[in-house]
Amino acid sequence: MSDSGLATRAGTTVSSPDRVPAPVRNAMTVDVEDYFHAEALSACFPVDGWDLLESRVEANVDQLLVLFAAAKVTATFFILGWVAERYPRMVVAIADAGHEIASHGYNHRRVDRQQRFEFEEDIRRATAILEDVSGQAIVGYRAPTFSITRNNFWAFDVLENAGYRYSSSIFPIRHDNYGIHDAPRFPFHPPNSGIIEHGTLWNQFSSRRRRIFSPAAILAFSEKYEAGQPCR
């Protein structure tokens, strides 16, 4: 056996038994929001009409909890405060199943469209609702539409001052609505911040980085809009 820990058999290099690769740890996350909260549909579904729309979030989350339980998987659920206010039973069910409750802000308003004082209030409101309903301390945050970019790194100061320990808000890709294409692939501390940023999952093919959609994202948008609804 060579010093490198590799053995050669029939001209093929194979891993030595005493060099077993470390297991890969994967993280499952879910953004808990309804279809009408999506940035791409914001022009079709004004905020003041949300309560009049059919909600699908509870049914979709119930299905996910069954799937995760069957696979013995635990996840972090980034939940909108607006959703938690209206569906507290769902939040309790998520927490009771052993999943982490984290914040997705209050009503899915992009961070880069808020002033600092507005973001502070958004974070305060969402945190209070989620902690009250779930009984968990909320220490994780994901910005709606991944809307923390180099232009608003002050958001990390707000999160740290509010007691948050980590964020998952930066998408390391080129995109017209969000992303920092050269952001680190692995957890890092933004400049002058104690917050840890865990970038969103992506894969790289050739020179392009592409998003990998989670089963939750696919499930949430699996139903088409019925005729007569404002968005098609």
45-59 pLDDT per residue, tens: 999 999 999 999 999
CA distance linking residue 133 with residue 114, whole number of Å? 26
Structure pTM? Answer: 0.78
CA distance linking residue 102 with residue 105, whole number of Å? 9
Look at residue 113 in the predicted model and tell me its pLDDT: 92
All structural domains of the chain, each given as residue ranges with its CATH number in brackets, are 26-220 (3.20.20.370)
Look at residue 151 in the predicted model and tell me its pLDDT: 87
Q: Are 90 and 119 in contact (CB under 8 A)?
A: no
HSE (side-chain half, CA atoms, 13 Å) at 44: 14
Residue 122 pLDDT exceeds 60: yes
Q: Which two tokens stand for residue 173?
A: 């890709």
| Mean pLDDT value of segment 179-202 | 78
179, 221, 227, 222: which is closest to 41 by C-alpha?
Answer: 221
Helices H / strands E in the chain, number of each: 6, 10
User: In degrees rounded to 5, what are phi and psi of residue 14?
Assistant: -130, 160
Residue 85 pLDDT exceeds 90: yes
First to last CA, the chain: 63
Q: Are 114 and 106 in contact (CB under 8 A)?
A: no
162, with CB counted inside 10 A (0-12, 13-18, 19+), is: middle
Average pLDDT, the chain: 80
Residue 81 CB neighbours (<10 A):
23
Q: Are 126 and 106 in contact (CB under 8 A)?
A: yes
Residue 213 pLDDT exceeds 70: no
